[in-house]
Every structure is written in C-alpha cells, then in structure tokens.
Amino acid sequence: MTEPVLTPVKYDAFVADIHTLAAALAGSEWQPGFIIGIGRGGLVPATYLSHACGIPLLSIDHSTGIDGFGNRLLAELASQTRDGTKLLVVDDINDSGRTIAHVRGAIREAGGVADNIHYAVLIDNIVSTERVDYCARRIDRTVTKDWFVFPWEAVADRESVLRDAAEVPERIA
C-alpha cells in the first residue's frame, strides 16, 4: 500500500472551523443542552466548541471499545433525550461514517429520541454513509485521499499517525 499524504490541519484553521460551527449553531433554532465529545478525535473540538458557545460539555469514549466509557454512557445519553434534553455530538471528521453510525445506533437501541440529537464535525466526507447536521468543511473521499492530521494528533509519532490512517484503507487508497 502506498503511504498516504499526511495533511496537517493548522491550529488557526482549526480555530476558524470552531467559529464556523459556533456561528452555525448560533443561527439555528435547535439549541443543545449539552455538547458531547466523542473520544478520541472529538474531545478537543467539543471542548473548544463548548467554550465558544457557552454550552456544557460531556464526553464518551468510542476509541478504546471499553463498554463503561462508551455504550453505557450512550445509554445514559439516550435517557437524557427521552427527558427532552438536546445533545450535540461532536467528532473531528465524518469520514467512513463508522463512528457516527455506532453512536447513532447505540443511542437509538437504548431508546433515544433522534430529534433531540444532532451531529457536528470539523470535516464532513460527502460520500460518507452517515450524515451530519453541522460541519465546517466538506471533502469528497472519491477525490481527496489525504489523511488529515489535527493539531492534537501532531504530537504523535509518524508511525502512529500512519497506523490510524490504515485502519480503513479505502478512505485513503
């Protein structure tokens, strides 16, 4: 397999993307009670968005696969939506759609109210299997094969970044 093109997302661009999301949210009639950061990639953007909007932050972990930090918390979030709480789930990128599909499915299976949950990402792949409600930028993975390296990932060694990129090879091939 050919090594992917690693494209750094500069800090200033990241902050501009947060402001884009915050403005879109401010212009919406739909307002969340909580912002939910998806670990690992969505935690930093969710924290920044929480500060930009003044909306409290909660987090879940999808990356480790440990039930108590992911699916059990998703079930609790589903309960919150049944009580009328609106949640904005944030991730860094909607690429293949796997993460958002997992979160959406787990909340649905736990009886969550879909209208009370919206999704936001910095970068949305327009050919992803999943749709989001808010995004700062769009890409088309049939054209753009670059692997985006966000500021919080820039401290990782190159091999770690390449391993992450290789998890779903069709994204970058």
CATH number, domain with residue 113: 3.40.50.2020
| pTM listed for this prediction | 0.93
From CA 126, how far away is CA 130, in angstroms rounded?
A: 9
pLDDT digits (tens, 9 = 90+) for 116-155: 999 999 999 999 999 999 999 999 999 999 999 999 999 9
Report if residue 152 sits inside a domain: no
Q: Structurally, how many domains does the chain consist of?
A: 1
Report if residue 147 sits inside a domain: no
Q: Please tell me the predicted confidence (pLDDT) of residue 65.
A: 63
pLDDT digits (tens, 9 = 90+) for 50-61: 999 999 999 987
pLDDT digits (tens, 9 = 90+) for 17-50: 999 999 999 999 999 999 999 988 999 999 999 9
In this structure, are residues 118 and 88 in contact, taking their beta carbons and an 8 Å threshold?
Answer: yes
Report if residue 77 sits inside a domain: yes
Map residue 135 onto helix, strand or coil: strand
The residue segments making up the domain with residue 16 are: 11-139
Region of residue 115 (phi > 0: left; psi between -120 and 50: alpha; otherwise: beta): alpha
Report if residue 151 sits inside a domain: no
In this structure, are residues 125 and 139 in contact, taking their beta carbons and an 8 Å threshold?
Answer: yes
